[in-house]
Amino acid sequence: MTIVARWFRRSARPLPWREPGTTPWGIVLSEVMAQQTPVARVAPMWLEWVERWPTATSLADSSAADVVRAWGRLGYPRRALNLHAAATTIRDEFGGVVPSDVGSLESLPGIGSYTARAVAAFAFGQRVPVVDTNIRRVLSRAVLGIAEPGPPRTRADMDLMESVLPADPAESVAVNAGVMELGAVFCTARTPNCGECPIAEECAWAFAGFPANAGRTRTPQAKYEGSVRQARGAILALARANPRVTASDIAVAVPDSSKRERALEGLLSDGLLVNSSRGYALPA
C-alpha cells in the first residue's frame, strides 16, 4: 500500500483540516462533522467553527443552544450536542487538551471507535487502523477481490486494515488517509472509476475481472420529502430562529399530526429541544 501513500501526498483533495497547523481539536471537529455528510458541505462550516471555537474549552463555555444554532442545516443535529458534551469533558477532565490515546478518546461523549482512531492517527500521527465505509469497500475490492463488503465486523475489519499498514507511523497515517480518499474519489460504491485508480494494477477485484460478487444487498434510503426527518428539521429551524416556540407554531410548520408528534418526541428525547410552560426551546 505504499503506492497509496505516495498518491495521497501528491493528489489529496485540498480540505482545510488537512492544512499544516490544524490542531487536534480541529481534527475532532472535522471527523464529527463529516459523519454522513459530504465534505463539500462540511468545509465552510468547519472554517466558521474553528474561527468561533478554536479550542474545546471555548466550545464548552458556550451554551448548547448556541452550538445547535451554529450547526444550522449540516444534518443529524444530535452531533452538535455530542460535540458540546465532548468539549465539556475535554475541558473538565483533560484540562482542555484533546487526549491522544484511543481509549481516552472513546470515553468522550459521541466519540466512537472510528472517530477515536481517526483522531489518534490524523491528529497525533499514531499507527492505528482506521476503518470507515470507504475503507471497508476499498479493502474488500483491492485485497479480498469482493465487489462489496459484507456486514461490518469490527475485529476482522480492523485486522484487515492493520495488515496493510506500514510499520512506520507517518507512512501508516498516509495509508489510512489514502485508502479512505480512494474510496471517496475512485473506488465509489455505485460507479467506481477503475481506469483512473492508482492501485488498479494491484487490485484483486480488477485482477479477477470485476466479478459481481457483492457481499451485501443495498437498502435504499427513505425519501426525505414528507418524512419525520423533514418534520424534525422544520421544528428545529423554528427553534433556532425563535427563543420560544409554541405548539401552534409547530402545528403550522408541520401540519401532519402523526409526523409532528413523532418528530417532537424524538427531538425531546435527543435533548435537542426542551419543553416548559412557555413552549419549546433549544437546550440552555
Confidence of residue 229 (pLDDT cuts 50, 70, 90): confident
What's the CA angle centered on 164, arms 159 and 167, to 5 degrees? 100
Task: Pick the most confident of 112-126, 145-159, 210-224.
Answer: 112-126
CB neighbour list of residue 53: distance below 8 Å, 6 or more residues apart: 59, 62, 87
- Per-domain residue ranges of the chain: 2-124, 133-207, 228-281
Q: What does pLDDT average to over the chain? A: 92
Residue with cell 484540562: 95
Q: Which residues pair with 275 in a beta bridge?
A: 280
CA distance 263 to 42: 25
At residue 204, the pLDDT reads: 94
Give the confidence band of 85 by pLDDT, cuts at 50, 70, 90.
Answer: very high
Mean pLDDT of 213-225: 58
| pLDDT score at 223 | 75
Residue 222's pLDDT is 65
Residue pLDDT, tens place only, 179-200: 999 999 999 998 999 999 999 9
Model confidence band, residue 218 (pLDDT cutoffs 50, 70, 90)? very low
Task: Transcribe 148-165 into DSSP letters.
Answer: S--S--HHHHHHHHHHHS
Tell me 202's DSSP state: G
| Cβ–Cβ < 8 Å for 239, 273 | yes
Q: Is 169 exposed, middle or buried (0-12, 13-18, 19+ CB in 10 A)?
A: middle
Q: Domain 2-124 class? A: mainly alpha
- Positions annotated as catalytic residues are 31
Residue in the block written with cell 426542551 = 274
- Is the predicted pLDDT of residue 68 greater than 60, yes or no? yes
In the prediction, which pLDDT does 101 show? 96
| pLDDT at site 78 | 93
3-state secondary structure labels for all residues of 97-135? CCCCCHHHHHCCCCCCHHHHHHHHHHHHCCCCCCCCHHH
**Look-up of cell digits 478518546:** 105
Confidence of residue 212 (pLDDT cuts 50, 70, 90): confident
What whole-number percentage of the chain has pLDDT above 70? 96
Cell of 119: 483522531
Q: Does position 214 have pLDDT exceeding 80, yes or no? A: no
Q: Is the pLDDT of residue 254 over 80?
A: yes
> pLDDT band at 217, cuts 50/70/90?
very low
Task: Classify burial at 104, counting beta carbons within 10 Å of its beta carbon; exposed 0-12, middle 13-18, buried 19 or more.
Answer: middle
**Fold match flag (2-124 vs 133-207):** no
What pLDDT is recorded for position 221?
A: 56
CATH assignment of 133-207, given 1.10.1670.10, 3.20.20.70, 3.30.2090.10, 3.40.50.2020? Answer: 1.10.1670.10
Q: pLDDT digits over 134-146, tens only? A: 999 999 999 999 9
Between the two ends of the chain, the Cα-to-Cα distance in Å is 48
H-helix or E-strand spanning residue 54: none
Mean pLDDT value of segment 250-261 = 91
> Rounded distance, CA 31 to CA 27, Å?
6
Cβ proximity of 15 and 43 under 8 Å: yes
For residues 141 and 114, the answer to whether their CB atoms sit within 8 Å is no
| Lowest-pLDDT range of 7-21, 82-96, 168-182, 253-267 | 253-267
